[in-house]
Structure 1
Amino acid sequence: MLVRERPRPEAIRNRSNAWWFAVATVCFGAFMGQLDASIVTLTYHSLRVQFDAPLAGVEWVSLAYLLTLVALLVPVGRLADARGRKLFYLYGFVAFTAASAACGLAPSLGALIAFRVVQAVGAAMLQANSVALVATSAPPERMRTALGVQAAAQALGLALGPTVGAALVATVGWRWVFGINVPIGVVALVAGHFLLPRTRSRNPVPTFDWWGLVWLATATTSLLLGVSAASGLPLPPWATVGLFAAAATAGLAFVLRQRRAQVPLLDLALLRLPAVSPGLVGSLCGYLVLFGPLVLVPIVLVRAGCSEVLTGVVVSALPAGFALAATGAERILPRAVTDRGRCLLGAVIAIGVLLCMAVVPVAPGWTALLLALLGVGLGLFTPANNTLIMRAFPVAASGTGGGLVNMTRSLGTALGVALVTLALHLAPAGSVAPAAHSAARMLLVAAGVMVLAAWLSPRRTASKGSVAE
């Protein structure tokens, strides 16, 4: 019973809109993941006071979560392809919800960081399967719409995070920043049990590639730590160089292992599918461009004398524009515009906005308008790009594909934060505008890569049938 997927009730399964129930359920996880990503940073000050800890120690509340998440997304997706995506998704909710409750009750900073690692394991089980569940539940012709709704749920969680986090910390305390996940998780777990379809096409794993997991985890962890060190983490230069060297070495070892392994963690042939490699690069750069301004703008506006309330309103324009475009593009754009065309349009809009941000003086009004337009561009790009990637993967490898999409998203998030932090770190003290323009130029390069990735994507992709039951 606990290791087998149960089918949906017949009354649900036979409805013509049953796929919408599955998409709505997946949106719970998408919303929670992004809410948690943007809400936790609001607890830093309270954690420092509560546990009498330095900022370098408190930062590990986020860093431990991110490192664990990135390392596990691909292997968890591979296992879900073999054992059942619904099963892994539901157990992910169990782990995430239980760990959230434990975080809210943590007696020490060390315990909190340990519980965050467990929370990240649950988040990996959710995120590795979210895109795959949407892609295999929705009819082929509605996949882009479904992925757009999921992306909008992520944007909504991202937008509400700072506001909800600030309100919780100011009223009931930092522990409820984690406790808020518990009721949402319980509702999502019950909904998933009844509304998510079983996995009908599986990709068995006779043996698990543990060495592949070790090399992948080493590569991603070293890379993220190296980027953090380069952007201001207090490490000596030789340690920073060593981290990048370790990342390159472990990455090469991972590739060689996947070529020799009888049952590889990641079938490298999947990366040679026409839409996959350009799409994954575009996904990484898209989230880099999305998260960079979310770090840059609050720092710049507060330094310029804006209140925190006004700053929060301005920053919310970015995820609001993203959600609007991700859900409304189907009704506005002609059906003749292909996924590749939407990717190109979204990336070009992002380039235009970042060009303006690189030269326009920082002011709340202009910044809010530009962020909203940037969100529109990214909201056009992301669902269409994800659709191109997921249509290229065989149905039996959908979990692996979803894991790769979310891993590149997490890496793009980390790089966006790190590059902006690096630009601010290198800027002379007090020079707000030059630092902001320098960061915008870094993000502009990433937007240029988005255009190139979209251009290299195939003009037409084959539609695969739905396998939901």
Structure 2
Amino acid sequence: MATVCFGAFMGQLDASIVTLAYRPLRSEFGASLAAVQWVSLSYLLVLAALLIPVGRLADAHGRKLVYLYGFVVFSAASAACGLAPSLGALIAFRAIQGVGAAMLQANSIALVLASAPRDRMRTALGVQAAAQAIGLALGPTVGGLLVSTLGWRWVFGINVPVGVVAVVAGVYLLPRSRSLTPARVWDRSGVALLAAATTAGLLGVSAASGLGLPGWAPTVLLVLAAACVAAFLLRERRAAAPLLDPTLFGDRTVSAGLVGALCGYLVLFGPLVLVPIVLTDAGSSELQAGLVLTALPAGFALAVTLGERMLPSSWSDRGRATLGAALGLVVVAALIAAPLTAPWLLPLLGTLGVALGLFTPANNSLVMRAVPSHAAGTGGGLLNMTRSLGTALGVAAVTLALHLRPGGAHLFDGPRTALVVLGAAALVALISARLLPSAGQHPVA
């Protein structure tokens, strides 16, 4: 568990630390916000496209092997990001970093399940979520400190020593897979269509956010994304070895839980982009913005760590997920109405983190209980892919709102519009939580 938490910590530290470098990246490379967001999106797109294929590879060839190579790729790419000579090179290195992250994240949940008894699954997933939350919590503060002192390149370099320690620990402490699922025909077409759909969709949103592409580009890209989604779904129904197992989506718990995971991470990562931009535009330093932003993942860490004590043990996962989603919706509504200044943001972001920290482990536990044990790697990859897409949508939606509705005196300026989008996602998460069945009702094949 401790070794797996290295990967969870590393991935989330990187996810939250990068947003503090947006302003210096724009200054150094003379780029727009729509261009700089691809430092995050290139990483997330590769991650989302590869999580399920890598989960399949891990099921077939061993989760420990794939996990350790993931640390090596991630750490080497992090070092390359810190030395990138241009924004284009940085985006390319971040895509390679996403390959390593996919190798880590596709296996993390399956490795947790191999280490924890079934009746302690929620607690084990909570420990892993706590490691993620610590990485998230440290990211804004550490990122703000590094950007304000040593420069943005150290935002990426900090991953290297963590990766070295994790590789050494993993060699000695990670368990080998006890059972392997024989490799089937590789669904290359499914992977290509999924990657094309996500890339075209986010490129279309980015083009509408001021990326500098021709005026017709957003429409063409979004139509292409829709066509790729349709082709992907058709392919998965007919493929001998589909990338996404259609039987998993026949379970209401899996489908509702995945929708909830996507919306939960959209709500979590949207403010990680929005708050630094709002505060630095108002005159705060990156360090000050990072300190305020830390309240969100710190609240998340508190809830996932102490969630078992914060609520009665008799509460079901469905009840915990519902409470977390409802509280998150109330907090986002309060953010829409409140002044976006540090005294208001600190308590509201902290409470939002607590809400998401209650929702996430319970939602994930229900999803993984519904996945057969022989497909744990694939199921974990599917869950993480959905969360990665939610993260990417959070980045893209905030950037689009800020571009279409720049700051001003009107009621729904860019930041308020972005918060309305986050509120809609929180509402969908609440609806999905209510669709989940009560805990403990799913037999495991």
TM-score strictly above 0.5: yes
2:416 pairs with 1:437: yes
Return the offset for 1:330: 0.8
Instruction: Determine if contact 1:420/1:439 at 8 Å carries over to the other structure.
Output: yes
* Offset of residue 259 of structure 1: 1.5
Indicate which of 215, 218, 224 corresponds to 1:246.
224
**In structure 1, which of residues 344, 347, 368 is the aligned counterpart of residue 322 of structure 2?**
344
| Shift in CA distance, 424/272, structure 1 to aligned 2, threshold 3 Å | same
The answer to whether the Cα contact below 8 Å between 2:20 and 2:286 also exists between their aligned partners in 1 is no
SS in 1 for 2:213: coil
Secondary structure of 1:197's match? coil
Q: Is the 8 A contact 2:141 2:291 kept in 1?
A: no
- Aligned match of 1:332 in 291, 310, 317? 310
Aligned to 2:278: 300
Q: Is the 1:274–1:392 contact (alpha carbons within 8 Å) kept by the matching residues of 2?
A: no
Hey, what does 2:39 align to over in structure 1? 61
Q: Deviations over 1:282-331 (max 9, x none)?
A: 00000111112222233333444555444322211111111000110112
Which deviations, in whole Å up to 9, do the C-alpha atoms of 1:218-248 show, x marking residues without a partner?
A: 1111122222233343333421111111111
Stretch deviating more after TM superposition (116-125 or 226-235): 226-235
- Using a 3 Å threshold, how does the CA distance of structure 1 residues 39 and 308 change in structure 2: closer, same or farther? closer
CA RMSD of superposed structures (Å): 2.3
The answer on 1:257 being equivalent to 2:235 is: yes
- For 1:229 and 1:144, locate their aligned partners in 2 and report how far apart those are by CA, in whole Å: 41
The alpha-carbon distance between structure 1 residues 43 and 372, as it changes in their structure 2 partners (threshold 3 A), is closer
Paired positions, count: 443
Residue 133 of structure 2 corresponds to 155
Q: CA deviation at 1:53?
A: 5.3
Q: Which amino acid aligns with 2:304?
A: A
Query: 2:394 aligned with 1:394, yes or no?
Result: no
Q: 1:174 to 1:429 in 2, by over 3 A?
A: closer
Alpha-carbon distance in 2 for matches of 1:294, 1:60: 15
For 1:214 and 1:34, how far apart are their aligned partners in 2?
Answer: 26
For 1:78, the aligned partner's letter is R
Q: Tell me the residue number matched to 1:368.
A: 346
Distance 2:14 2:312 in 1: 35
Unaligned runs of 5+ in 2: none
Q: 2: distance between equivalents of 1:239 and 1:257?
A: 26
SS state at 2:216 partner: helix
2:432 is equivalent to residue 453 of structure 1: yes
Q: CA deviation at 1:61?
A: 3.2
Question: Where does structure 1 lack aligned partners over 5 or more consecutive residues?
Answer: 1-22
The answer to whether 1:121 aligns with 2:110 is: no
Quote the Cα distance in structure 1 between the aligned partners of 2:340 and 2:26: 31
Inter-partner Cα distance in structure 2 for 1:339 and 1:434: 36
Shift of 1:46: 5.1
Greater shift, 102-111 or 273-282, is seen at 102-111
For 1:24-39, list aligned pairs within 5 A: 24-39=2-17
CA shift for structure 1 position 100: 1.9
Whether 2:221 is the aligned partner of 1:221: answer no
2:295 aligned partner: 317
Larger displacement relative to structure 2 (31-40 or 166-175): 166-175
3-state SS of 1:431 partner: coil
Moved more, 450-459 or 63-72: 63-72
User: What is the CA deviation profile of residues 341-378 of structure 1, one whole-angstrom value per residue up to 9, with x for unaligned ones?
Assistant: 10001011111112222223333222211111111110
- Give the structure 2 partner of residue 19 of structure 1: none
Q: Which residue of 1 aligns with 2:335?
A: 357
